[in-house]
């Protein structure tokens, strides 16, 4: 089994936070390294694709958020018991990635950006959360795959952020919101979310 892990990302958390949530839950040891702009200028040339996040596993650099999360899920035994469960966890997490990209992060026109944010937060994302709730309910209503998996941590990570943008965003998905609260209350998870930086 590989030894040391170092997770590098900027000071603001993103998709990679799902890995931190899993590490917190399982007690997995790793170094959480937050990179400022000055440090990034020095280390950028040594990173695959010249981007973050990067997970360093005994010197092997792993990048791409989805790859990091799937690797972390396997290390934490949260990837599903069967190929089908793993595929469902991947499907749900990829959908959550898509959902977060609905937000118009790169729009530069202020008026158009305001309109796009409103549509995303009041229409598109609530509908997508409703679709995710349907999948959750079909999975048995306890977890997305029938047992705890990285998909459950992915919805907690994304949902926790979305609630800071619009408190009613889960109105079409109340069971999913309740599920998030259940995952947040797991041992070590609440403690991490309370004390985490960024």
Residue 124 belongs to domain with CATH number:
1.20.1050.10
What is the number of helices (H) and of strands (E) in the chain? Answer: 9, 4
pLDDT (tens, 9 = 90+) of the chain, 198 residues, equals: 567 899 999 998 899 999 999 999 999 999 999 999 999 999 999 999 999 999 999 999 999 999 999 999 999 999 999 999 999 999 999 999 999 999 999 999 999 999 999 999 999 999 999 999 999 999 888 999 989 999 999 999 999 999 999 999 999 999 999 999 999 999 999 999 999 986
The reply to whether 143 belongs to the active site is no
The reply to whether 40 belongs to the active site is no
pTM to 2 decimal places: 0.95
The reply to whether 131 belongs to the active site is no
SS3 80: coil
Range of the domain at 94: 83-184
Pair 63, 13 in one domain = yes
Q: State the total domains in the chain.
A: 2
Of the candidates 74, 105, 131, 196, the residue annotated as catalytic is 105
| 8 Å CB contact between 44 and 19 | no
Residue 27 belongs to domain with CATH number:
3.40.30.10
Cα–Cα dist 61/54, whole Å: 6
Pair 49, 111 in one domain = no
Pair 116, 55 in one domain = no
Of the candidates 15, 20, 70, 75, the residue annotated as catalytic is 15
Mark out the alpha helices in 55-198 (DSSP H runs): 65-75, 83-101, 110-119, 125-138, 150-165, 174-184, 189-195
Cα–Cα dist 111/130, whole Å: 28
Pair 55, 116 in one domain = no
User: To which H or E segment does residue 43 belong?
Assistant: helix 37-43
Pair 131, 150 in one domain = yes
């Amino acid at each position: 089994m590989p030894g040391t892990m170092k997770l590098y990302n900027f000071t603001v958390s993103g998709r990679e936070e799902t890995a931190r949530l899993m590490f917190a839950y399982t007690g997995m040891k790793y170094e959480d390294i937050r990179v400022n702009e000055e440090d990034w200028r020095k280390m950028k040339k040594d990173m695959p694709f010249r981007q973050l996040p990067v997970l360093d596993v005994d010197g092997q650099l792993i990048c791409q958020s989805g790859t990091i999360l799937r690797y972390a899920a396997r290390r934490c035994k949260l990837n599903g018991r069967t190929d089908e469960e793993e595929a469902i966890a991947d499907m749900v997490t990829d959908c959550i990635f898509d959902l977060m990209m609905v937000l118009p992060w790169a729009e530069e026109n202020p008026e158009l950006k305001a309109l796009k944010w409103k549509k995303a937060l009041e229409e598109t994302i609530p509908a997508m959360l409703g679709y995710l709730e349907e999948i959750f309910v079909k999975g048995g209503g306890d977890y997305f795959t029938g047992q705890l998996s990285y998909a459950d941590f992915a919805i907690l990570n994304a949902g926790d952020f979305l609630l800071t943008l619009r408190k009613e965003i889960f109105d079409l998905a109340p069971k999913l919101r309740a599920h998030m609260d259940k995952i947040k209350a797991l041992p070590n998870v609440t403690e991490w979310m309370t004390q985490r930086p960024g």
